[in-house]
Each structure stands twice: as C-alpha cells, then as structure tokens.
Structure 1
Amino acid sequence: MAEYLPILLFLAVALLLSVAFVFLPIGVSRLTGAHKPTVAKLSEYECGFPAFEDSRSQFDVRFYLVAILFIIFDLEAAFLFPWAVSLEQIGWAGWATMMVFLFELIIGLIYAWKVGALDWE
C-alpha cells in the first residue's frame, strides 16, 4: 500500500486544486457583488435575437459541409506556415511534397465546388 501513497497524494492535490479553481471564483464573485443578473444580462448574446425555432431542430447538411471544408482549408493554412519557415532545410523534396499536397487540396476544392457544396441558398 505504501507504493500507492504518492499516487493517492497526487490525486488528492489534483482534486483539491480542481475544486478550488472551479468553486473559489464562484464564491468570490458572489461575495464581491459581481453576481447581479438583470434581464439584459440574461438575454441571448450569441446571435443577438431570440430563438424562433426549437433548439433541437436539424441543420441543413450544407452547413456541415461548409464547416468541414473550412476546417480542411484552415488546417492547410496551418501546415503552410511551418513549411515556409523550414523550406531552406527541407529543399526541393519538401517543396515537391507540399505542391502535391496543395494539388490534392485544389482537386478537392474543385470537386466540392462542382457538386455544389459551397452553394448557399
């Protein structure tokens, strides 16, 4: 049982810190008067207008297609920066590899455009 004492101590400290980081700010805000809900504070803030449908309604599949395409091209931009920084070290092989990668992405974009994934009605 003595071998488990460091692990149990670690878990106890982690639990204590996580509880403190969650409940301590809540308690301090209540004590300092920062918790003063009003109608304006409790209103919708994400889109600026009240919801007009059930929150469980289904989204059109085109929304998900655009979101996935955004993630793909956002990741492509994230890959381009380190590639550009290290281009001197990786040489022509790295350049050719990135051109193949970009060509595949362009083919994917052309395909998505042709099938109408980017059309929004």
Structure 2
Amino acid sequence: MPGNETLSNLWPLLLYAAIVAFLLTAILLLSYFLGQHHQDRATRLPYEGGIQQSGSARLRFSAQFYLVAMLFVIFDVEAVFIMLWALGFYELGWAGYIGAAFFIAQLVVVLIYEWGIGALNIGPDTRAIFKAYNRLKTNKAV
C-alpha cells in the first residue's frame, strides 16, 4: 500500500517533532516553576533595560538613512546570490562564470553610480568643511 510506505518514511520526522515539542514544553514549565517571580515598579515598563524612557517613540529619520538601509539590503541579498553561485561553481562551468562576472560588473556599475550621486554620503559634507577650513586659513594669513 502506498499510504503505509509514506507513513513509514515520515516516522523519523514525526518522532523528531514530538521530541522537540516535549523538550520545549519541559523547558518552559521548568523555567516558570523554578524561575524568579517579582513585581517591581519597572517590571511592567516598556524597554526595561536600564535606560529611562524619554520623549516620543515617533522619531523622524532623514531619508538618507532609509536609502542607505535599502542599499544595504539590496547588496546583502546580492551577496547571497554570489555565495550560491560559488557553491555550484564547478557544475555551472564557463557559462556560470560569465553570468556571475556580468552580475558582479552590474553591481560595480550600480555602486559607482550611487557613489557618484551621493547616495552613500551620510556624514557631514567634507568638501564644504575643507572649503570653510581653507577660507579660515586664508583669512588668518592676511
């Protein structure tokens, strides 16, 4: 019967799931019964970590922060693709190598473009700081 064969192939998975469920329940129950129970004033406050809460949680961040975060996520996902390509390097052959080289070349072009438009400048404008410094230096020399 095909049903018995499927069930006999699944028994290790079912046994594993049962052991995990048992251990999870045992750990939670033991920590509840053996753990400390206290009702301090700060216990019910959010962000209980030693820092007092101040101000609103609705902070405004500059759009530059979100742009850098999106760039990080994009390049992080692309790194995963390159890692997967590296795992199948020998099976993919030259076609895979050329495809990966093209992919990395596109990444380099996009990175240069983003650098050129200033998407990676999250600190103070260094050119403006150097201009102000040179102006200050020139005025002191006069």
With the length of structure 2 as denominator, give the TM-score of the two structures.
0.53
Unaligned segments of structure 1, at least 5 residues: 1-20
Higher alpha-carbon Rg: 2
- What are the within-5 Å matches in structure 2 for residues 27-106 of structure 1? 29-36=31-38, 38=40, 39=42, 44-45=48-49, 49-50=51-52, 52-106=54-108
Q: What RMSD, in angstroms, separates the aligned Cα atoms of the two structures?
A: 3.1
Q: What is the Cα deviation at residue 78 of structure 1?
A: 1.1
Of structures 1 and 2, the one scoring higher in RCO (CA 8 A, sep 6+) is 1
Moved over 6 A (4+): none
Percent of aligned positions with the same letter in both sequences? 38
Unaligned segments of structure 2, at least 5 residues: 1-23, 124-142
| 1:110 counterpart = 2:105 | no
With the length of structure 1 as denominator, give the TM-score of the two structures.
0.61
Distance, in Å, in 2 between the alignment partners of 1:52 and 1:115 is 37
